[in-house]
Structure 1
Amino acid sequence: MFEWIADPAAWAALITLTAMEIVLGIDNVVFIAVLVSRLPAAQRERARRIGLSLALIFRIALLTILAWLIGLTEPVITILGKALSWRDIILAAGGLFLIYKAVHEIHDEIEQNGTSGGSEGLVGASFSFIIFQIIIIDLVFSIDSIVTAIGMAEDIEIMVLAVIIAVAIMYAASGPVSRFIADHPTTKMLALAFLLLIGVALVADGAGFHIPRGYIYFAMAFAAGVEMINVVVHNKRRRRAALQENGLPDRPA
């Protein structure tokens, strides 16, 4: 069962697969971070924990039915001369859901209709609905992640271990990401733009037009870097203004 431990090629496959799972998990982390930011502070950690736990469960469950997953890549329907598989249909549907969700959230932010609390009944319903949305997108990202991983490793143990490591890193990163988005409202709009971009990429993949993820993640990293600079500059200006209001020097003499 663990013969692969002594095989250097298996370790190389584990490292490569783990790195790929982490990269593919970025989309999952951003989506969960945006959704939980709409919950009261007391509910966010619980929702984040549930979302990432479901991501792990879905991925491991899908690994146990690899034969079925491989069958998802077989064409099942032809539309306008284009043969589509169940994987294509699932990715396109998930992409459309992401586009709808991102556009809806952007509109809500612009119109200032977002709420962060309310009565217990409303909070409970909101929490349940957010978990439901996380389940949907977890399933879409899990299928994309595992189907992409098939062929990179021969042993199921390597795949399961790579998924566990990747989700553990996702869990560690999701907390700071969620808190940063909650503390800096402007970054939420950037995160929503990321989700819109990812949704378009998923729809394109489902339609057979693959957009290399490297381009998308580079654009996301560049935009995030610019936003980090804006946040630092804004904080410095706010701190300087506070010092001036109190009659204190900007820098110690």
Structure 2
Amino acid sequence: MAELLTVENATNLLMLCFLQAVLGFDNLLYISIESQRAPVAHQRAVRFWGIIIAVTLRIVLLFAMVRLLELLEAPFYTFAWEGILTGGVNFATIVYLIGGAFIMYTAVKEIGHMLSIEDPGHDVEAKSGKSAVSVVALIVMMNLIFSFDSVLSAIAITHVFPVLAAAILLSGLAMILLADGVTRFLQKNRMYEVLGLFILLIVGVVLLGEAGQAAVHGAEAIGTSPEEAEALALKLFGYEIVPMSKSTFYFSVVVLVAVEVLQSGYSRKLNAERRALQRHS
């Protein structure tokens, strides 16, 4: 227990909670809209049990993913296209490559969606009088779909399962307590969602970097000599794919947050000056 109480784990937990909150925006919005289709008397219970079941299944998904990464460490294929692509591939390589590409695609898609002028609730049909059970089942199913990117981004930050599970539990508790409030806040303060999406892009890059060394770490774990393991590092056009360091990742996040805070303050100042000029004109 004592080994979990470190500054690194605490920092990772804070970052994971922030990402879970940002990645859960669409989920919160969906839950708040879909729960309104249940009978009015059951809507609060629908939100509560939908989130409880979904968070439980998300932890199961996380545990399964972490265990698979540990069990399927041995490289199963080696590229030998000299000058183009060389290095080994294991299960973790595939997960990181697909996950990194998927997360970056999700972030870019969401940024594009935010730039559109469509109303998030535009496509929501009128209340259909669904039963509470069917609405809960639909919320749980959609939550699992939404959870794929959050689970992959969490694994990119740390492999310490108690930290990962704690972040998911805390985000689930926040969803239960603040579902409606968080949705309204993020709708009014969309810059926080934009910030989170750009952080998500960086997380995608982190995952792609991890893919380059996944076979190396897997080979070392099963007792392969250091020299043979190093030969399994992925190289693209002769350049080795290396993971981003945690210090670089956190520095990038700090810079993004600082830019967002300064830009928000400057925008408020400009708006105040415009209002003052309009009053005096």
| TM-score, normalised relative to structure 1 | 0.64
3-state SS of 1:207 partner: helix
Q: Is the 8 A contact 1:18 1:163 kept in 2?
A: no
Counterpart check, 1:134 vs 2:125:
no
AA at the equivalent of 2:168 = V
1:150-229 pair list within 5 angstroms: 160=162, 162-171=163-172, 180-208=185-213, 209-229=242-262
Amino acid at match of 2:91: W
**What is the alpha-carbon distance in structure 2 between the residues aligned to residue 213 and residue 179 of structure 1?**
33
Residue pair 2:57, 2:144 contacting (<8 A) in 1 also: no
* Correspondence for 1:14: 4
Relative to structure 1, the CA distance from residue 239 to residue 142 in structure 2 (aligned partners, 3 Å threshold; closer, same or farther) is closer
Query: Structure 1's 84 and 98: CA in aligned 2 closer, same or farther, altered over 3 A?
Result: same
Counterpart of 2:24 in 1: which secondary structure?
helix
Q: Indicate the SS of the match to 2:120.
A: coil
Quote the offset at 1:144 in angstroms: 4.9
Quote the offset at 1:102 in angstroms: 1.3
* Structure 2 spans left out of the alignment, 5+ residues: 36-43, 80-84, 129-134, 214-241
1:7 is matched with none
Structure 1 residues 229 and 81, CA gap change in structure 2 (3 angstroms): closer
CA deviation string 1:99-158 (max 9, x = no partner): 11111122222233452343338998x967852432322443465567x33xxxxxxxxx
Give 1:116's aligned residue.
121
Structure possessing the higher relative contact order (Cα contacts under 8 Å, 6 or more residues apart): 1
Q: Share of identical aligned residues, percent?
A: 19
Deviations 1:21-80 (A, max 9, x none): 5156244443223x33654754599499466444433345567xx5x5422322122233
Secondary structure, counterpart of 2:89 in structure 1: strand
Distance in 2 of aligned mates of 1:237 and 1:87: 48
**Count of residue correspondences:** 221
Is the 8 Å Cα contact of residues 40 and 116 (structure 1) preserved in structure 2?
no
> Once the 2 structures are TM-superposed, how far is the Cα of residue 201 of structure 1 from its aligned partner?
1.6
SS at match of 1:218: helix
What amino acid is aligned across from residue 75 of structure 1 in structure 2? P
Name stretches of at least 5 consecutive residues in structure 1 with no aligned partner: 1-9, 150-158, 248-253
Structure 1 residues 200-253: Cα deviation after superposition (integer angstroms, max 9, x where no partner): 221121133211133122211222233234334545665787799899xxxxxx
What RMSD in Å do the two structures reach over aligned CA positions? 4.2
Counterpart of 1:30 (choices 22, 28, 32) is: 22
CA gap of 1:40–1:241, structure 2 versus 1, over 3 A, is farther
Q: Does 1:85 align with 2:75?
A: no
